Amino acid sequence: MDTLWTEIIKQVPSLAVLCFIVVQFLKSMKSRDEMNGNMMEKIEHMHRESAKSINENTRVIGRACEVIEGAAECIKDITHNNGRNA
């Protein structure tokens, strides 16, 4: 029985080191998970803002195309009428 206790006592420092390593590992994983969560929130925010910008740009480009088409029709009418007057 004495040898059993002696062997157990010999393993206590190793067990303490193992516990320390496990605790440090769990702390680093928690920190990493928090960092990843924050990064995902930022990415989602950037995605929403990008989608808003793309939608607004699409709307503005559509309006610009309408204006250009209107101007082209106006120019076409002017050149067609000038051909009649000449």
In the numeric block, which tokens belong to residue 27? 């702390």
CA–CA distances in Å: residue 42 to residues 49, 60, 61: 11, 27, 28
CA–CA distances in Å: residue 55 to residues 44, 49, 50, 65: 17, 10, 9, 15
pLDDT digit string, tens, across residues 34-82: 999 999 999 999 999 999 999 999 999 999 999 999 999 999 989 887 7
Prediction pTM value: 0.55
Which is more confident, 83 or 11? Answer: 11
H or E element that contains 53 = helix 2-85
